[in-house]
């Protein structure tokens, strides 16, 4: 065994099938609000964080203060965006995760038309080399000539302009809440799962939200602004903590529903939970 894998998941429901399939003898301990499962051979530990960025950050920090795993597998179920053609039970691996509420809102008075999704444009804004001209403009009017237009929806600009400081020192993209995940780990995990699972597996950017998207209109606006594969409520927070402790992390999620779909009769949580178990077993099996 190359080293212990720390599995981080928001709810026990998402890990139920994995735990049901696990060999007898794994332990479960609760301490100061943490619920931690450990395999008989100590090759993996599973911690249930609770949903949301604050629970994820607190739980992962508490774990990493106690021991240093070789890597973190952040997993669970999530909503997918239509543009990637996934179905419930399919899986995706994050190449980055963006906390969409990070940044500076500079579009104060108008509604713009499109978003800056080109990586070079985003990087120029992070580096401070983009145009400094104000983006404010009368409601309904086109953006001033020469400005890169922004997407404004539901009362805020998407994506936001970068903060004037790094959230993780030395990682400028965190000024816009963008956390790049280990590319080698993401790539090898995608290849492994694509060969092993009986479902579609892709990789791409994820977004983290603190409010679940409740309409197709907002889902479309988020898709236009960030081009994400999936939406969750914990990924960027976990990536932030992992970066601070310099522990490589891979984020792999199974599709349970379409982002914006609030008719839960159309969700397929059971199939997604089975895929989560397949993901964990495959990743852990490769490391033994």
> What pLDDT is recorded for position 33?
76
CATH 3.40.50.1580 fits 5-102+172-286, yes or no: yes
Range name among 72-76, 103-107, 213-217 with the lowest pLDDT average? 103-107
Burial 30-64 (b: 16+ CB within 10 A, else e): eeeebebbbbeeeebbbbbbbebbebbbbbbebbb
The pLDDT of residue 145: 36
Average pLDDT over residues 15-37: 86
Indicate whether 152 pLDDT > 70: no
* Per-position DSSP letters for 241-274, written without gaps between them: HHHHHT--EEEEEEEEEETT---GGG--HHHHHH
Of 144 and 236, the one with more pLDDT: 236
pTM: 0.85
pLDDT recorded at residue 109: 53
Percent of the chain's residues with pLDDT above 70: 82
């Amino acid at each position: 065994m190359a080293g212990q894998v720390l599995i981080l998941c928001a709810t026990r429901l998402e890990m139920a099938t994995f735990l049901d399939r696990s060999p007898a003898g794994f332990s479960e301990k609760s301490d100061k609000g943490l619920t931690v499962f450990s395999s008989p051979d100590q090759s993996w530990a599973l911690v249930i964080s609770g949903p949301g960025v604050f629970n994820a950050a607190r739980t992962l920090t508490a774990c990493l203060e106690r021991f240093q795993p070789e890597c973190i597998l952040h997993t669970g179920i999530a909503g997918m965006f239509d543009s990637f053609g996934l179905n419930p039970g399919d899986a995706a691996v994050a190449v980055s995760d963006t906390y969409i509420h990070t940044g500076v809102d500079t579009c104060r008075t108008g509604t713009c038309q499109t978003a800056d999704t080109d990586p070079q444009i985003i990087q120029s804004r992070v580096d401070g080399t983009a145009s400094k001209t104000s983006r404010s403009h009368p409601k309904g009017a086109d953006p001033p000539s020469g400005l890169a237009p922004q997407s404004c929806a539901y009362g805020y600009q998407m994506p936001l302009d970068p903060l004037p400081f790094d959230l993780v020192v030395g990682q400028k993209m965190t000024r816009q809440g963008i956390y790049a995940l280990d590319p080698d780990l993401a790539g090898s995990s995608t290849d492994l799962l694509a060969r092993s699972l009986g479902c579609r597996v892709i990789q791409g950017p994820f977004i983290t939200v603190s409010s679940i998207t409740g309409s197709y209109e907002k889902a479309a606006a988020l898709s236009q602004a960030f081009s994400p594969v999936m939406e969750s409520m914990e990924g960027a927070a976990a990536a932030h903590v992992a970066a601070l402790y310099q522990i490589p992390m891979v984020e792999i999620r199974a599709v349970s529903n379409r982002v914006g779909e609030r008719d839960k009769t159309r969700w397929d949580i059971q199939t997604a939970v089975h895929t989560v178990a397949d993901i964990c077993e495959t990743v852990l099996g490769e490391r033994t």
